[in-house]
Amino acid sequence: MKREFKLAVAIFIAIFIIDQVVKFGFANLGWDANGSVMSLKLAYNYGVAFSMFSFLDEYLKYIQLFIVVLGSIYLYKNIYLFKEYYIAIGLLYAGGLSNILDRFTYGAVVDYFYWHYGFEFAIFNFADVMINVSVAIIIFIQIRNNRREKNLKEKSSL
């Protein structure tokens, strides 16, 4: 368990720092760049994905922090889940808490990846990508575990 915790913390620290440094560059140093497929363009998201819930304005950061606290309590009470999903949890916490810090620092989440080739896609950031990667890892582990259970049941019924 110590090994998993140390690795999750290392992942968290690395992703969190990288994301905050890049966001600082876009918010304060004008790192914008235009391309034919994708542009790097500063945008502030006052909501969550696709600006949903932006009407919650100042309350959103506190709601999100409350959700993180609830999730942490749940993981503490179900430590076996942490052991199985520690990489995804490190990525998820890094991305989520980095975006929450943006709300306290900039008043909104700093976004900068803008895909515009063939279709226009929402502007997003590195933390958003890490959150999606963590969800993909969780889904992968769930599918793998379900297949293992199914195979064990089939073998035991023979």
List, by residue number, the catalytic residues: 111, 128
Neighbouring-strand partners of residue 51: none
Question: What does the longest C-alpha to C-alpha distance in the chain come to?
Answer: 66
- Paired strand residues for 39: 114
* Secondary-structure breakdown of the chain: helix, strand, coil percentages, each rounded to the nearest 5: 70, 10, 20
Q: How far apart are CA 82 and CA 90, in angstroms?
A: 10
What are residue 12's phi and psi, to 5 degrees? -55, -50
d(CA 101, CA 3): 27
From the list 17, 7, 143, the residue with the least C-alpha distance to 88 is 7
